[in-house]
A and B are shown apart, each in its own frame.
Chain A
Amino acid sequence: MQTFSGVGVAPGRVLGPVRQMPKPVQEPHANVNIPGDVTVESQAARVKDAAKAVQSELRARAATASGEGREVLEATALMAADPMLIKSAVKLLKPETPGGARTAERAVWEAAATVADTLKSLGGYMAERVADVLDVRARIVSELRGLPAPGIPASEEPFILAAEDLAPADTATLDPSKVIALITSGGGPQSHTAILARALGLPAVVAATGVDGIADNTEVYVDGAAGTIRVEPGEDLRIAAKAWATQASTLAAFTGDNALADGYRVPLLANVGTGADAVKAAAAGAEGVGLLRTEFCFLDRDTEPTIEEQIQAYGAVFAAFPGKKVVVRTLDAGADKPLPFLTNAEEPNPALGVRGYRTDLTSPGVLGRQLQAIAAAEAAHEAEVWVMAPMISTADEAAHFASLCADAGLKTPGVMVEVPSAALTANAVLREVSFASLGTNDLTQYAMAADRQLGPLATLNDPWQPAVLNLVKLTADGAATAAAASGHAKPVGVCGEAAADPALAVVLVGLGVTTLSMSPRALAGVAAVLKTVTLSQAQHLAHTALAAPSAAAARHTVREHLPVLNDLGL
């Protein structure tokens, strides 16, 4: 029985056949010598046949889709055999074309690139269709090469998706009723694959070297908590998967009012991006919103949204939580979330560049207008609105942000603690604002100097690293000192992925964190584990984790003391 191990990023135990995500399509070589006996006509016929085949495949998929998905697939099917695209590709097959005759694959590649450039230059809606043209191109080239079509494989049966890593674009086409688990050879605990898995509630293991080589239809067992994948599972694992399925249905219910075994309240909040997310989060029992990611209202736009548009977007979230806390994070653009009107794509090191709160230095006004919009939306709704700035590094920045909030009439300013300097100077920072929220994804990336998307650095990029836990403790301790000095409570929450790990949630509470915010899917699991420990037990486990020599040792020791995790398959 072969075993692969990686980093478990979303719990769950399932059994099923593997389907490999086809490798991304490689660009066909230019300047290939074309044998004398290959005629332009025969190549043109190949291009047309491949285009027709891709068109029928897309039409067949459109027939089984519904709503907007169906329209997109129908339009893409038309693009696949587009007469203009085929005509330009065929022209490139001819020896008299500048640059000489291309292979069929290369001709399709170049012809589609020209179309994509034209659409891109038109901007707006047309530019958004570039992805469709490039998707069609990849499909035709794969068809010409006799390779499977790129993208998530289509299947009648539910399957376990194996890949090197998933891109944000793949997430749009992932059907959660067909994909039952994700396993990747690359990616880290904070990669897109991991975030997607948590959002969909799919068991997932990342950075499991070799899983991208498992043959299609091989039956495997995935344990998303332990981070293991077993080929040819035995009867014991079949039973474990069945037990998980039963367990998962009982775990699904979280009723709000989360507390530890001794009654100590730790409100569990949700991370959301839109009004629709907020409605789902409220239905899942979230006691408020611990992180409203406002950039979703800004992404994919060439210009800043108007104040009116923003009021509407934020209001839709506030409306879902009347009388409850909603923590709004101001625009966090830059690094992996570039915005054409705000960030500079040419920065050599964008993670350390002008991002988050720092964009107020280069594009003053955008933040001020956003705060105005948040204040106006707050006035129109019943939610208790808190506002925090991302990427705050110093007490001066915190003070400046607090003054901007006061100008806008917002009463509860706060900061994200994700830069280690803010954690180290938490006492001074928290004297300027009312609360802090730990963004453990970036805090880990910066503390460990390890890019969160890189598979080879997955062990460094782990919020269980004792260095990261120490920064959490320093933040909580600094806030406590600031609270004692000012006479006002200075709560510290966590809104990073770490809060969704039930074992780590116990440690975070023990370190002094007062609220946890996570993907709504994780609420039930975290609540089920927290209610088995008292505050003093959590503090004891936190102490053990802090003293551990490594992330693996910290995780192992804490998990050993929480038998409920194994009972629940978490």
Chain B
Amino acid sequence: MPERTATIASRVGLHARPAAIFAEAAGELDLEVTIARQGEPADEAMDAASILSLMSLGAAQGDVVVLRAEGTGADEALDKLVKILETDHDAE
């Protein structure tokens, strides 16, 4: 299954506006994307389109997460999502 790692860039971590932007982007895809902290088993990964799951993940700035997806266009979609996580949205 295609997967990518990403380092959270937002100063406030993966919640508030950064989480909303990310969940919305993941929700617009026709694929199911999961997110987990690096090192956690893949079957404990959570739905990346769920803002509540993202918030309960509690990822802070500098934390590394793993994104996974399967299906047509998965690689492309994951690259796009990694870019969102690695942008500091608070700096905009």
Contact = CB atoms under 8 A, between A and B. Distances in A.
B83 interface: no
A116 to B, nearest CB: 10
A85 B52 contact: yes
Interface of A: 71, 74-75, 78-79, 82-85, 87, 115, 118-119, 122, 125-126, 129, 133
Contacts of B38: none
Given A74-B20, A75-B20, A78-B24, A122 B58 contact: yes
Contacts of B58: 122, 126
Contacts of B50: 82-85
16 contacts: A71-B17, A71-B20, A75-B16, A75-B19, A75-B51, A78-B23, A84-B46, A84-B53, A115-B52, A122-B55, A122-B56, A125-B16, A126-B55, A126-B56, A126-B58, A133-B52
Contacts of A71: 16-17, 20
Contact of A79 (B16, B46, B47, B51): B51
B16 A83 contact: no
A145 to B, nearest CB: 23
A87 B53 CA distance: 12
Contacts of A74: 20
B65 interface: no
A349 B92 CA distance: 49
A147 B35 CA distance: 36
Contacts of A84: 46-47, 50, 52-53
Interface size class of B (residues with CB under 8 A): 10 to 19
A192 B42 CA distance: 49
Contacts of B23: 78
Contacts, number: 50
Given A75-B16, A78-B23, A125-B16, A119 B51 contact: no
A126 B53 CA distance: 11
B12 interface: yes
In terms of DSSP, what is the predominant structure of the interface of chain A? helix
A432 B46 CA distance: 63
B15 interface: yes
Interface in B29-58: 46-47, 49-53, 55-56, 58
Interface string B2-34: 000000000010011101100110010000000
Given A71-B17, A83-B27, A119-B56, A125 B12 contact: yes
Contacts of B56: 115, 118-119, 122, 126
Interface in B50-90: 50-53, 55-56, 58
Given A82-B53, A119-B56, A126-B56, 18 more contacts: A71-B20, A75-B16, A75-B17, A75-B19, A75-B20, A78-B51, A82-B50, A82-B51, A83-B47, A84-B46, A84-B47, A84-B50, A84-B53, A118-B56, A122-B55, A125-B12, A125-B16, A133-B52
B15 A125 contact: yes
A360 B55 CA distance: 37
A332 to B, nearest CB: 31
Given A78-B20, A122-B58, A126-B58, A83 B12 contact: no
Nearest to A124: B58
A109 to B, nearest CB: 15
Contacts of B46: 84
Contacts of A119: 52, 55-56
Nearest to B49: A83
A122 B12 CA distance: 15
B36 to A, nearest CB: 14
Contacts of B24: 78
Given A74-B20, A78-B20, A119-B56, A126 B15 contact: yes
Contacts of A126: 15, 55-56, 58
B52 A79 contact: yes
A13 B23 CA distance: 48
Contacts of A85: 50, 52
Contacts of A133: 52
The 10 closest A-B pairs by CB, nearest first: A84-B50, A78-B51, A75-B20, A84-B53, A82-B52, A118-B56, A83-B50, A82-B50, A83-B47, A115-B52
A460 to B, nearest CB: 45
Contacts of B52: 79, 82, 84-85, 115, 119, 133
